A = this chain, B = another copy of it.
Amino acid sequence: MKLIAEANQKAVQHLMEAKPMLIGIGIAREVIPGMQENLLLHAGPPITWERMSGPMRGAVIGALILEGKADTPEAAEKLVTSGKIQFDSCHHHQAVGPMAGIISSSMPVYIIKNETYGNLAFSNINEGYGKVLRYGAYAPEVIARLQWMSQTLAPVLKKAIEISGGIDLRNLLAQALQMGDEGHNRNKAGTSLFIRTIAPYLLATKADHAVLEAIFKALHGNDLVILNPVMAACKSAADSAHGIPYSTMVTAMARNGTDFGIRVSGLGNRWFTAPSTVPKGLYFAGFSEKDANPDIGDSTITETAGIGAFAMAAAPAIVGFISGTAQMAKQATLEMYEITLGEHPYYKIPNIEFRGTPVGIDITKVVELGIVPRVNTGIAHKQPGIGQIGAGLVTPPIQCFADALEAFSETLPKE
């Protein structure tokens, strides 16, 4: 067992000592390893078109229209069923995406470098609220916004990030957790800090006043701006903790809208999956649980890296949005110490006297105690093209963790 303890100690150290820097923006096909023109990356463990849920299918359709490969949803579906489009998990390409998480070859993506260990991670740019691709919408205004992001926002933002010399996301997140964010569902402080940090560099690009005005409006209008870079930051930390033999620490939790899947540091690239469940939470007016898609998205990389629901005590203001009380928020964090390997040296929570967030989920503890990781999430409509209908909490299936633990026991050296 000393073997496992040492492996886990190393894994959680990697997770905690990662230093993710936002160093630039690139075009997916030019910067993401293994990206190809006919490849679409998606959230969660691998899945085929046949098993994809409504919102993920909607996002696939939208991405193919955006790429100019189809003019209509019907044409897009036909193209997919013809077999000319490949799918793969974002996670297999050092990438993550919220909700459907579709990344297509021409999309601009954030580039995050984990300065401690040298590895890169990628995520797409957040579109904001309402009808958006990540929730499966593909209406003309959705495509038009994505085009504006590619053609106008991304080139200027890329230049600004480059002039800045890189934005320290670990530092930004540490501050945001002292300002009411938990880094998954609530990103108002992180987004605010990002805007004030990047603002002088945006001016230094010398882009037209009208362009910069539109960019500042778009950034101010979307409290989730920083979610995607933060997810990639967490991915860069998790990847640097992956592949440590005999470690039982989780290095990915992700959902494709059909399956919930995890990967474990000492178990290679195998996914352990179980059916994704419908989140419990608050629904927007006119919607209810019967409209909800099962849990979807790579954003659970935040909980994997010790923030999100694990940092709920830092974000009491969130409870109105996902239902609950400030006291419950504190309890959520306290419970997660039971199943984790460390306390984060950089992400500290004022409300619990600056204790570090619980970090590094141990599948052994999850199974032994029967406590599954807590997860915050947005809720997508189960039909494509509609969008977000609520937000809440989801309970990951314990079966993933039990299956992983069983597989792990088979890897142990015979005594």
Question: Which B residues lie within 8 Å of A101 (CB)?
Answer: none
Chain A positions 313-351 with a Cβ under 8 Å from a chain B Cβ: 316-317, 319-320, 325-327, 350-351
Q: List the 10 closest pairs (A to B, CB-CB), nearest first.
A: A316-B350, A192-B192, A203-B213, A178-B317, A199-B216, A200-B216, A317-B350, A179-B180, A195-B196, A179-B179
Q: Can you name 8 A-B pairs with beta carbons within 8 Å?
A: A175-B188, A179-B192, A189-B192, A191-B196, A196-B220, A202-B216, A206-B209, A320-B354
Question: Which B residues lie within 8 Å of A178 (CB)?
Answer: 180, 317
Residues of A within 8 A of B (CB): 175, 178-180, 188-189, 191-193, 195-197, 199-200, 202-204, 206, 209-210, 212-213, 216-217, 219-220, 316-317, 319-320, 325-327, 350-354
A192 to B187, CA, bound (A): 13
Asked whether B197 lies within 8 Å of A220 as measured between CB atoms, the reply is: yes
Question: Which B residues lie within 8 Å of A351 (CB)?
Answer: 316, 326, 351
Number of chain copies forming the complex? 2
Asked whether A189 lies within 8 Å of B196 as measured between CB atoms, the reply is: no
> With A317-B350, A353-B326 given, is the CB distance from A188 to B199 under 8 Å?
no
Asked whether A219 lies within 8 Å of B204 as measured between CB atoms, the reply is: no
Asked whether A199 lies within 8 Å of B220 as measured between CB atoms, the reply is: yes
The smallest beta-carbon distance between A70 and chain B, in angstroms, is 35
The smallest beta-carbon distance between A185 and chain B, in angstroms, is 14
The smallest beta-carbon distance between A224 and chain B, in angstroms, is 13
A79 to B198, CA, bound (A): 46
Question: Which B residues lie within 8 Å of A206 (CB)?
Answer: 209
Contact of A195 among B188, B199, B203, B213 (CB under 8 A): B199
